[in-house]
Every structure is written in C-alpha cells, then in structure tokens.
C-alpha cells in the first residue's frame, strides 16, 4: 500500500487541506497505518511510536501523518466523540452541500452545451405535402405525405403501413410508447398539443402541483417513433376508402378547414366528454378534464377569495362566493374537494381576512348512498369520516336537477322510504364543478351511428381484440373511455353451436360444453370470473337434467353470462393497458409482416397471431385531504400522511417522462417549503 502512495500524491495535493478544511474533513490526526506484513521492509510506525504531540512536530515531512481528502467527519475527534449525533448530522449536511454543489456544477456545465445558434438549412419540402391532392367522397385534400416527411422518413418508411391514432391521452400515448421506432408510419391527431397526466388535475386546480408539471408535448413523444403530429379533431370516417376526415384550425381565429388522413390501421383513443344527464344550466359549471379546465378553476377560486375579501361585498354575496359545490362523488369530485379544503386550511386562510374562514363551505353532491361508490365500503366510510372532520358537506342520494349562475338545485330522495316525496334543496354556489360520469365525444357518436352493430349508449363497442364491431376487420380499433368491450355472447351462439356440437346431435353435452367454455373464456376474458365452475353452470342451465344443453338452454346460458359481465371502468389504468396491448399487437404484427406476406396471409386477422385483451386491475386510489385510500381486489388501505406519500409514489412512477417526474417532485417539495402560490392568473 505504501508503495503506491506517490501515485496518489498529485490528487492529494490538489485537495491539500487547509487548517479549516482539515478540521472539516478529518476527524483527528490519523497515525500512519501499521505496516502490513507483506511489506516487511517498511519502517513500522505505530501509535505508540508517537507518544506525544511534541514528538510529532519533529517528524520529517515524509513522516507527517498524511491526511487524505475524506468526507469523514466534520469536527475534530474530541468533538465527534462528545457529540456523536451532532457529528453525524454535520457530516450529512456536509455531504448534502458537497453533493448539491457537484450536481449544480455538473448541470451548469451540461447547460453550457445546450445553447445553439440559429442556423438555417434550406430543406425543400415534398411538393405533395405543400399542395396535397384532393379526393375522397367530399373531395378534400388528402394528406398522403406529411410536411416533415423529408426530415423523418427514410425511403423505407414510405412503404410502412400507415398507423393513425386519434387522441392524445392515456391510450394513445401508451400505444406510441410501446411501438418500436420506424415500424409504422404513425400520425397522431389531437386537438391539444400535449399529453396531460389527468389523475393529478385536481391538485393542479389549487396549485399543489403546477399545470406545466403534468404535461408532455405529443411532438416529443411521437418523435421517438419518427411519427407525425396533426393538430385537429377527427369528425368523420370513410371506412371503405380508409380515410379519416379531420377538422383542422385555419388561421389564428376560430376558422377551420377539413382534410382527409389515409390509414391502414386506425386507433380511436379519443376519450370522453362529461355526461350532462339532461341537467339544465351546465354552462354555469366548470369541468375538470383538461389543463385549461384546471387553470380556469384555479383562477376562479382565487377570484372568489379576492371578491369575498372586499369590504364592498355584502355578507350574503360573500357567503355565496365562498360556497363551492362539487356535483359528483367519484374520485375526481372527491379529490378536488379534498385539495380545496387542504388549500383553504394550509395556505389561503393565513393571508386572507379571517372572517372568510367561517364562511368557506365545500359541498359534495352524490347521487348514491356513499361517495367513492366504486371503491370498497371501508374506503367509502373512511373518506366520509374524513370529510365530516374537515367540515365538507356531503349530500348523498341527491340528484342535481338544475344549475343556475349562483345556485345548484338538488333533489334528495329518502333512501329508507322509496315512496316519500323527494325534497328539493337550493345550494347557493359561487363555484360549481360538474364531474358526474362520461358521455361520447361527437366523433364516437358519429361512428356509432354509422355502424350496424352498435347498441351501447356511452361508448363504441369493440370485441376482445379492441376491434370496432362492424368495422372492417383489423383496420379500426378503439379503446379507453371511447370504447367498451363487447360481451354480447348471444351473437356468437350459432358459430359456437356449429363449432362445438361435434357429434352433430343437436345438443351440447358436458365435454362439448367444456371446450366451448374454454373458447368463450379465451375470446372474452371479461367472462373468466363468471365461468369458473363449469359443472355448476352446466347443471344450472340443463333444466331437464338430460346431461345435454339444447339450443334454447345454451342461448339462455350465454345471455345470462353476458348480462353478468360488467365492462371495464372508464379509467386511465384501463386506457393505458389497452394502449400497451394494441402497441404490443402492432409490434408483433410488424415483425411478422414479412412472414405473413410470404405466406400470402392477410395482416388483418389479429386472432391469428395475438391473444385477446385482458385487463389486470392494479387497484384504485384516491386522495382525501392529507390522506389517501387504496383499493385492490378486496384488500384496502386508508391512512394518513404515509398513505398520501404512497399515493404520490404511485402517480410519480406512472409519469410518461423523467421531466414531469422531476417537475412533480419539485412541486411537492415547493409546496412543503413555501406553500401554494396564491397569485391569480
């Protein structure tokens, strides 16, 4: 060891300790280590050979105990031994400072390489992209070549199948992220330029996190697969010619124009709108589906607080301005109410007149018995208890019948007496949030009208491979809130019958039923839960006990099975899993293209090479005022701050980019240190 000391010398001298740094970086003068036995010619120097300090000063420079640059301990040995805890704390602070300094220096160093000057390369655009040819039924421009084709497309890309994705939410982004680069010529059509992390929108309404921390530009996400982004909204579909009709903005005003985007595969991931439930006056409500919604809500909350703080405002108006009514007791409504109450308690009332404190009123109107009714009962109860403690008004069994500019009119049923006349309640409201379920986007509605086999009222029906029912096979897919997986087994009755009545005796015996059930289970994973005990089911529907199912008995079985199956919830989790599924399917297909073509097989029969979509529920979670609840297959957890941190961790891990992950973390830290920003803009 001593032999190689000289090599370390230059670095040591670079860090040669001054008296100050010495006291910071070394715990005490360290004796030279005793010589190791494999270096017998080294001069032994043990502690006992330096009996006192006066002797030490007489050592030659070569003999002076070396102090190497170690982040070892801050103060001198005596101090460290006297105050061990303080020493450890100081050491930690020191390493924090060193760490942060190093990190900052590294970032600034990196930063210096990120500045570039403008340098214009004139790249001629493809003439077809500047002046697209017109065509289709309505003779609109057809965007066959994209404006950025010169940039992102190699010659080979032109032959790739065109994959068009409508929407820029959870489903669409999951597809993009699970596709390999350059497998498809991808075009993403969305009216907004970014993906938004919707589950945290309630936090953005009050500034717990900033809106900018929840978004990732779609152009950045699509760049990885060398795709194209088109700002616009799909309005119609020509499935024969495989053209999506898109409405794109024109000039800076409200004008629009239309064009066609050709596709080989189309994915509809367009999401949903709010369900108005036929209630009048919803134009007075705020919604919470987009980033601008959250910004508008934040502005309104701060406006109301300022207005309520004016001495010129009458006490009645003040009361109304500070009454916040949330219609809908699902996760969005509950989380918004919780965030609002948090902000009032932690930040607002510190800086606003105290008279506001007793006037703030947050009400949640829920049509069912309990809030969070899709969660377990335990969770519901916990949330309700928590809300009661925070003085949130919970109005259950209540339906909103009308909303006006300053009132929410509610009809309350008595849950115990169904014949009782419902009571009517008028709640003064300075802010009304509408978050009660979903409805179809106009494009989804148009699609449903166009197709023959669509019966669902809230979404387009797809089969287990997420293919839109009634559309040409293998070309049009739908998912997320826009889609509902069809389990209308009765449609398959005759196909199943012909296939599994193997002995052609006009009945299905138990062996045949077993095969049929397996096939149903595979094709409709949603039925899996209900098809468990095959013998029991067989016996139940074999009413004449002849150990055979007649066609009628079989039809009844399938009908009842369909009715038991519930569709997937309209959540980000489902959309993300479906997107990943479709991405995987398309990836697999892209790999098999050559084989399929060589064997002259079509690329449209997903069943040939892929499994049906199966949802794996990873639990539900919700934030309820400095605590959180989790729910997973009957196992539920509700708790305080620790649960809240767990809730944050899960959302944190679900982020689409490191950028938003960093921003979110910083937002939470920022709130912890400085509180929420109360500026209104």
Nearest Cα neighbor of 189 from 258, 257, 246 is 246
CB 200, min distance to a second copy, A: 15
CB 274, min distance to a second copy, A: 19
The two tokens of residue 204 are 């953005």
- The dihedrals phi and psi of 512, each to the nearest 5 degrees, come to -65, -40
Angle CA 315–284–168, to nearest 5: 130
635 versus 681: smaller Cβ distance to a second copy: 681
302: how many CB neighbours lie within 10 A of its CB? 19
CB 53, min distance to a second copy, A: 12
107: how many CB neighbours lie within 10 A of its CB? 10
Nearest Cα neighbor of 387 from 321, 329, 320 is 329
CB 132, min distance to a second copy, A: 6
575 versus 624: smaller Cβ distance to a second copy: 624
Nearest Cα neighbor of 400 from 430, 435, 367, 437 is 367
148: how many CB neighbours lie within 10 A of its CB? 18
CB 269, min distance to a second copy, A: 18
346 versus 654: smaller Cβ distance to a second copy: 346
CB 208, min distance to a second copy, A: 11
CB 284, min distance to a second copy, A: 10
Tokens 């166009």 belong to which residue?
450
Tokens 């199966």 belong to which residue?
614
218 versus 471: smaller Cβ distance to a second copy: 218
Alpha-carbon distances of 229 from 165, 226, 267, rounded to whole Å: 10, 10, 14
CB 421, min distance to a second copy, A: 34
Coil, helix or strand for 167?
Answer: coil
94 versus 534: smaller Cβ distance to a second copy: 94
CB 369, min distance to a second copy, A: 25
Residues 6+ apart with CB under 8 A from 340: 205, 206, 301, 324, 362
131 versus 423: smaller Cβ distance to a second copy: 131
Cα–Cα distance measured from residue 538 to residue 281, given in angstroms and rounded to the nearest whole number: 52
521 versus 670: smaller Cβ distance to a second copy: 670
Cα–Cα distance measured from residue 599 to residue 211, given in angstroms and rounded to the nearest whole number: 51
Cβ neighbourhood burial of 313 (10 Å; 0-12, 13-18, 19+): middle
Q: Cα 208 vs. chain centroid, distance in angstroms?
A: 17
CB 447, min distance to a second copy, A: 23
Cα–Cα distance measured from residue 457 to residue 195, given in angstroms and rounded to the nearest whole number: 27
Cα–Cα distance measured from residue 440 to residue 454, given in angstroms and rounded to the nearest whole number: 13
The two tokens of residue 600 are 């002259």
162-166 and 185-190: which strand pairing?
parallel
Name the CA dihedral angle for 653, 654, 659, 665, rounded to a multiple of 10 degrees.
-50
65 versus 584: smaller Cβ distance to a second copy: 65
349 versus 438: smaller Cβ distance to a second copy: 349
485 versus 663: smaller Cβ distance to a second copy: 663
CB 626, min distance to a second copy, A: 4
108 versus 598: smaller Cβ distance to a second copy: 108
């Amino acid at each position: 060891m001593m032999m190689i000391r000289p090599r370390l010398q230059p670095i040591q001298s670079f860090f040669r300790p001054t008296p100050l740094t010495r006291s910071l970086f070394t715990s005490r003068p360290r004796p030279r280590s005793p010589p190791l036995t494999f270096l017998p010619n080294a001069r032994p120097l043990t502690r006992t050979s330096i009996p006192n300090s006066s002797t030490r000063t007489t050592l030659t420079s070569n003999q002076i105990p070396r102090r190497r640059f170690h982040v070892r301990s801050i103060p001198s040995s005596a101090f460290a031994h006297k105050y061990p805890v303080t020493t450890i704390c100081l050491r930690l602070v020191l390493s924090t400072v060193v760490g942060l300094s190093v990190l900052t220096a590294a970032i600034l160093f990196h930063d210096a390489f990120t500045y570039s000057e403008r340098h214009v390369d004139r790249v001629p655009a493809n003439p077809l992209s500047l002046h697209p040819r017109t065509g289709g039924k309505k003779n609109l421009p057809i965007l066959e070549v994209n404006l950025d084709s010169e940039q992102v497309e190699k010659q080979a890309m032109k032959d790739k199948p065109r994959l068009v994705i409508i929407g820029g939410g959870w489903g669409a982004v999951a597809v993009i992220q699970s596709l390999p680069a350059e497998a498809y010529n991808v075009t993403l059509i969305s009216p907004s330029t970014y993906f938004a992390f919707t589950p945290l929108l309630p936090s953005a309404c009050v500034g717990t996190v900033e809106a900018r921390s929840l978004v990732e530009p779609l152009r950045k996400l699509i760049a990885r697969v060398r795709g194209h982004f088109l700002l616009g909204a799909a309005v119609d579909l020509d499935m024969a010619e495989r053209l999506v009709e898109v409405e794109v903005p024109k000039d800076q005003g409200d004008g629009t124009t239309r064009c066609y985007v050709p596709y080989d595969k189309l994915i509809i991931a367009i999401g949903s709108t709010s369900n108005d439930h036929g209630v009048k006056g919803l134009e007075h409500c705020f919604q919470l589906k987009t980033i601008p919604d959250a910004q508008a809500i934040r502005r309104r909350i701060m406006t109301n607080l300022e207005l309520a703080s004016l001495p010129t405002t009458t006490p009645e108006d003040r009361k109304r301005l500070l009454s916040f009514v949330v219609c809908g007791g699902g996760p969005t409504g509950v989380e918004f109410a919780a965030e609002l109450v948090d902000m009032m308690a932690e930040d607002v009332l510190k800086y606003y007149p105290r008279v506001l404190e007793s006037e703030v009123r947050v009400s949640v109107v829920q049509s069912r018995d309990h809030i969070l009714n899709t969660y377990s009962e335990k969770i519901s109860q916990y949330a309700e208890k928590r809300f009661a403690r925070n003085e949130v008004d919970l109005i259950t069994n209540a339906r909103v019948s009308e909303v006006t500019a300053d009132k929410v009119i509610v009809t309350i049923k008595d849950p115990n007496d169904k014949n009782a006349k419902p009571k009517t309640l008028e709640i003064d409201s300075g802010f009304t949030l509408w978050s009660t379920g979903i409805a179809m986007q106009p494009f989804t509605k148009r699609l449903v009208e166009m197709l023959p086999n669509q019966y669902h009222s809230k979404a387009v029906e797809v089969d287990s491979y997420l293919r839109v029912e009634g559309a040409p096979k293998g070309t049009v897919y739908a998912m997320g809130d826009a889609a509902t997986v069809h389990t209308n087994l009765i449609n398959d009755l005759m196909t199943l019958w012909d296939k599994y009545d193997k002995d052609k005796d006009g009945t299905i015996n138990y062996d045949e039923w077993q095969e049929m059930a397996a096939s149903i289970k595979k094709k409709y994973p949603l039925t899996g839960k209900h098809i468990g005990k095959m013998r029991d089911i067989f016996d139940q529907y074999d009413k004449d006990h002849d150990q055979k199912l007649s066609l009628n008995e079989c039809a009844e079985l399938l009908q009842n099975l369909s009715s038991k199956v519930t569709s997937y919830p309209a959540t980000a989790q489902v959309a993300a899993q479906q997107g990943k599924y479709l991405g995987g399917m398309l990836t697999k297909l892209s790999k098999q293209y050559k084989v399929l073509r060589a064997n002259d097989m079509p690329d449209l029969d997903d069943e040939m090479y892929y499994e049906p979509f199966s949802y794996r529920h990873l639990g539900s979670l919700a934030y309820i005022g400095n605590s959180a609840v989790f729910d997973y297959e009957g196992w539920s957890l509700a708790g305080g701050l620790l649960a809240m941190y767990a809730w944050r961790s899960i959302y944190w891990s679900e982020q689409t980019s490191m950028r938003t992950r960093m921003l979110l973390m910083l937002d939470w830290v920022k709130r912890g240190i400085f509180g929420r920003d109360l500026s209104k803009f």
